Amino acid sequence: MSLKKLWTLLFTKNDETEQIALHVSGATVRHKNPFEQIEVPRNEEELSEEFVDKWVVPFYMSSISNLDDTSIKAFADTAKEIEIDTVKKLLSDFDWRTRITGAFFAAINDYKELEDIIGKQLLKSEVCYAGSGYCLALATFGTKNAKDYLNTYLDYYLDRKDLYFDQADAYCALEYLDKDSASKLMDKWNSFASNKKYWSLEKSRKHFLECMLALEKIRMI
């Protein structure tokens, strides 16, 4: 199925085959939100198998917080080769694997030019898993715009106690950039997390900082 067609089905009724395709791409939770109509770039054509094998397959399953030396070097070598247009294609694909990989390389190479794409995709939250990469990238960019995206995300999604999305990653990213702004949302966080037994902000903070340190190691090679 064309990925261009796939994203158009996200908020429409569809048959079982289409539902499975959406689920595999990461659209595991369909939800209404005020950001649905925000436009983001969409690839006109499917990415080739060769493209995915080179830029996605070696990286999308990587735990950035716990990379061995071989994986760090692989990220570093590829970051030196990859270009911003390639990263944009990754981010513009309707699949969590391509998107999180694109977010990783946007963060490593400090591609602030892609900040709006990443921030808008975080707000839309169309696919699972990719949000952690978006938050790392926004924290790396460190701009006022990045903070605004994180604040906007948290202001809405902390009120959605039914959605177990990227609230912890977004909170840690905002706290990393602006502790005062994050502290103003602490009451919202406490309310949001009150029914989530296994959510720990301390563990999320530790993991987030480990990810940021790993990104720095990659950049230094």
Q: What is the pLDDT of residues 168-203, one digit of tens each?
A: 999 999 999 999 999 999 999 999 999 999 999 999
Helices (H), 57-166: 69-81, 84-91, 96-108, 115-124, 130-141, 144-157
**Which range, of 14-18, 37-41, 47-51, averages the lowest pLDDT?**
14-18
pLDDT at 108 over 80: yes
pLDDT at 60 over 70: yes
Residue 135 has a pLDDT of 98
If pLDDT is split at 50, 70 and 90, which confidence band does 29 have? Answer: low
**pLDDT per position as a tens digit, 69-82:** 999 999 999 999 99
- Pairwise CA distance, residues 206 & 86, whole Å: 31
Give, for 16, the enclosing helix (H) or strand (E).
helix 16-25
Please choose, from the candidates 196, 215, 189, the residue with its C-alpha nearest in 3D space to the C-alpha of residue 133: 215
pLDDT at 86 over 50: yes
Residue 205 has a pLDDT of 98
Report the CATH number at residue 150: 1.25.10
Give, for 3, the enclosing helix (H) or strand (E).
helix 3-8
Output the DSSP codes for 19-54.
Answer: HHHHHHHT--S----TTTT------SSPPPHHHHHH
Long-range Cβ contacts of 188-191 (<8 Å, 24+ apart): 188/154, 188/155, 188/158, 188/159, 189/154, 189/158, 191/158, 191/161
Output the DSSP codes for 79-107.
Answer: HHH--HHHHHHHHTSSSHHHHHHHHHHHH
Mean per-residue pLDDT of the chain: 90
Range of the domain at 81: 3-220
Residue 206 has a pLDDT of 98
If pLDDT is split at 50, 70 and 90, which confidence band does 15 have? Answer: low
**Which range, of 16-30, 155-169, 174-188, averages the lowest pLDDT?**
16-30
pLDDT at 18 over 70: no
Average pLDDT over residues 32-42: 95
- If one counts the domains in the chain, the total is 1
If pLDDT is split at 50, 70 and 90, which confidence band does 31 have? Answer: confident
- Pairwise CA distance, residues 150 & 94, whole Å: 22
Q: What's the pTM?
A: 0.88
The most distant pair of C-alpha atoms in the chain lies apart, rounded to whole Å, by: 48
Average pLDDT over residues 98-107: 98
